[in-house]
A = this chain, B = another copy of it.
């Protein structure tokens, strides 16, 4: 004696999914009907398949992608299958939080504009510490880099002759390379000595929290573009005061970008 089979419409009602969803899950092999009539193509489900169907619905309501749901249903370790999803979600969440803050700022101030001037910069001998990370973790990676640099300087009893600097690539790629630099004239263990190129730079001053730097950077790039100046190399941030001593609203950062010769 078989369990009674129900057609797709009734099954959909049982498990609060759409008929279209069920057909989709069938196609993907996620939830196969117990029987498919070979002549008509009609799908029939056992009622107890509704438990699985409801689980799919529950996980979908949590935005778990169907591939991950497939892993959970296939009996893979739930922690494995969902942990990854969870971490992605958390990263997304913090990105969204920052996005919201920026958007709020933009609603008040409009699209960013800023004073820019062009200056000659000398080449500088520095020691650097490098790291890389996903673009949404820039601030995290940057402060970690600067921290490691400060630690190395302290351990070597070295005092930089100027403010700390960070370098970022112009293009925002999947993995963003971050460099923290300090101007010193002797090598420092745990860091790498290098030269920062000199030349003609466009520079703007950002006053406010570090989270809002992309704002000013955008304005700086727009300024260059308007004038047909082609930025090259990396964006430099020069930290003119100490984030531990000053309030976020009073942080002063100089943004600099090297200009190509006439293009």
* A interface residue numbers (CB < 8 A to B): 4, 13-16, 47-48, 50-51, 53-55, 57-58, 61-64, 72, 78-79, 82-83, 85-86, 89-90, 92-93, 96-97, 99-100, 102-104, 106-107, 110-112, 170-172, 214-215, 218, 221-222, 225-228, 230
Contact = CB atoms under 8 A, between A and B. Distances in A.
A15 B218 contact: no
Contacts of A111: 55, 58, 72, 78
A61 B230 CA distance: 22
Nearest to A100: B89
Contacts of A107: 78-79, 82-83, 86
Given A100-B93, A222-B55, A110 B62 contact: no
A54 B103 contact: no
Given A54-B218, A55-B111, A226 B86 contact: no
A26 to B, nearest CB: 18
Nearest to A112: B58
A76 to B, nearest CB: 12
A258 to B, nearest CB: 15
A62 B225 contact: no
Contacts of A100: 86, 89-90, 93
A154 to B, nearest CB: 36
B86 A171 contact: no
Contacts of A61: 172, 214
Contacts of A51: 222, 225-226
B106 A82 contact: yes
